[in-house]
Amino acid sequence: MSRTPRAYRSYILVILSFCISSVLFSQTESEDILLDKEVWAVGICPVEVGNLEKRYAYLQNSLQQLLKENINDLTEHQLHAEESNFLADSFIHEKIIQHSLDIDSLYRKRDELLFSQYSNEERSEKYEAFSSSILDKEQALQEWQDKDSHEIVLPETLSIEYQNIEQTPADSQFSYFMEKNSLDMLICGTVERLDDLFFLELSCYKQTSPEAVFIWSGTGPEDQLNILLDEATDELRTELLGRSWAALRVEAQPKDSLIMLDGKTIGVGDVFVRAEAPGYKTLKISRGGYESLVKQIYLPSMKFMEFSVALEKGVEENFYFLSEPPGADVYFGSQWMGTTPFYSSKPDFNNNVKISLDGFAPFQTPSWKLEGESITVQLSRLAYDKQDALDTAKKRFYRSLGWLSISMALPLVMYGIYQNQYSMYYNYANDWTSGGIQADYDKAMDSYDSSELTYKLFLGGLAVSGGLLVNTLFKLKNYINAAEESTAD
């Protein structure tokens, strides 16, 4: 039995849908989704006073404020895998809920059309519009349901934002309270009196865990509660920072000496930092008219280190190291000193100076060649960077051109099929006009319907080719720009 034009139309739809999908999806690379989260919200509850007399009620808010002052210098939280996965899963879950609610709302609005005052034609149009929106939302919902937490990209560190909580939630409501108030971490404390001593307990909760992730307790007299709180804070820092920490105090003489750690100025004269990452550091202390001190130190995890330094008098020649572009690393020998623009004393006579920046050819010179009070280095881009950019632009252009060539076949084929079907319609219509046979009329209408559909598909294929043509022109422009850049001095 021969196939009718309607049967051919089904085959054409399947083939064309496959071809167009191949062209479109070949141009689309799967991209990870960036979660727009910048703040790690930390709530600080008032300290519960337990069985204390009214005269000790001041401790409730004063200890809360003292705790906040102790941790206020902690400004960044480093996310670890468990927290990142939790935030990503929560984000996906929120999207799934939102799409589900949107779908339910669309279904309700579509059902309400049955009782509306619209005409049949208007009702039909709106019904189709709602149905189309429902299909789009259901497709989006399925995509979110198929997503994995590893497809969600989060920043490595978040800025810590502290919030005073007016009332401590009940033990069983910590997770709900944090979710409701958009908190990532909650710090709670209690203080009770035990004879002549006070018992202080500090606990920390996170949304990633139903139980407390940190509990500290200690006892002492009233006048040492601030010391107890300092001890508790030292252990709490690891949770707040999301990493290990080290504390460092440097006392320098003269008192106006500049103190730098790993090329970054941390203070003058007497400095105390409590949130440094553990490990080897380069400590530099300098002052005009004195010999600078550069020392390699090691900061152990969760320990306090103290250095007292008295600079010796001397005459030093200071020097400015500048580069274009700025931000280049400055090395004296193998010792990293800082980034340009960088102000320092001249290195030792027999030392080597190196200024380097990723993507640029490094600059090196022996220190005895440094003259005057400054040096400005014009860094040159590495030649292979330009060549790589040219090769990449070339590949992208030819890839786009290839897909454009493939896509052009689709509208041509569809137009040929359309002409064939329209000719069939014309012939059957003439037969029906001359003979009046119903079968000829049915065949004519089938051919007409098929030709109309094929013509629309031809226009769709033409639109796809037009889009790819625009994309190819942009790729060609980038290719030309990369070629001009590669030949520029």
Q: Convert the pLDDT of each residue in 278-323 to its tens digit.
A: 999 999 887 766 778 888 999 998 888 999 999 888 765 678 888 8
Strands, sheet with 279-286, edge to edge from the N-terminal-most edge strand:
264-268, 258-261, 279-286, 293-299
Check residue 342 and report its DSSP letter: E
Q: Which residues form the domain of 87?
A: 81-151
143 shares a domain with 88: yes
Structural domain contains residue 34: no
Alpha-carbon gap, residue 386 to 15, rounded angstroms: 42
Alpha-carbon gap, residue 203 to 215, rounded angstroms: 4
What CATH number does residue 303 fall under?
2.60.40.1120
Structural domain contains residue 415: yes
Total count of domains within the chain = 5
457 shares a domain with 412: yes
Question: Averaged in consecutive runs of 10 residues, what is the pLDDT profile of the chain (489 residues)?
Answer: 45 48 42 79 86 76 84 88 88 91 90 82 86 90 87 88 87 83 90 86 87 89 86 86 90 87 86 88 81 88 89 74 87 84 72 83 80 81 68 86 86 87 84 79 84 87 88 88 72
Q: Residue type at 487?
A: T
Instruction: Give yes or no for a contact between 296 and 326, defined as CB atoms under 8 angstroms apart.
Output: no
Tokens, residue 24: 């479109």
Check residue 53 and report its DSSP letter: -
Position 317 scores a pLDDT of 66
Half-sphere exposure at residue 145, Cβ-oriented, CA atoms within 13 angstroms: 9
476 shares a domain with 409: yes
Phi and psi at 164, nearest 5°, equal: -80, 125
Structural domain contains residue 260: yes
Alpha-carbon gap, residue 302 to 304, rounded angstroms: 7
131 shares a domain with 13: no
479 shares a domain with 396: yes
Q: Roughly how many angstroms between the first and final C-alpha of the chain, as a whole number?
A: 73
64 shares a domain with 189: yes
331 shares a domain with 298: no
Phi and psi at 277, nearest 5°, equal: -75, 135
167 shares a domain with 64: yes
Position 488 scores a pLDDT of 62
Position 385 scores a pLDDT of 59
pTM: 0.54
287 shares a domain with 250: yes
482 shares a domain with 409: yes
Position 96 scores a pLDDT of 92
Cis, peptide link before residue 46, omega less than 30° from 0: no
Structural domain contains residue 362: yes
